[in-house]
Amino acid sequence: MTKLNLYLVRHGQTYFNIYNKLQGWSNSPLTEKGKQNARDAGERLKNIHFDAAFCSDTTRAMETIQTILDLNQADSVKHPVTSPYFREEFYGSYEGTNMDVAWYNAGAPHGYKNFHDIVTKYSIGKAKDWLKDADPFHDAENNAEYWERMDKGIDLVRNADLPDDANVLWVSHGNTLLSLVERFGGGKYDVTVRPKNGSLTTATLTDNNFKIVDYDK
Residues annotated as part of the active site: 11, 88
For 214, other C-beta atoms within 10 Å of its C-beta total 10
For 155, other C-beta atoms within 10 Å of its C-beta total 11
User: How far apart are alpha carbons 165 and 81 in whole angstroms?
Assistant: 19
For 121, other C-beta atoms within 10 Å of its C-beta total 12
User: How far apart are alpha carbons 134 and 126 in whole angstroms?
Assistant: 12
Question: Which amino acid belongs to residue 152?
Answer: K
Handedness of CA 60, 64, 66, 67 (dihedral sign): positive
Q: What are phi and psi of 57, to 5 degrees?
A: -90, 25
| Alpha helices (H) in 72-173, listed in sequence order | 99-107, 115-121, 124-134, 143-158
User: How far apart are alpha carbons 205 and 3 in whole angstroms?
Assistant: 6
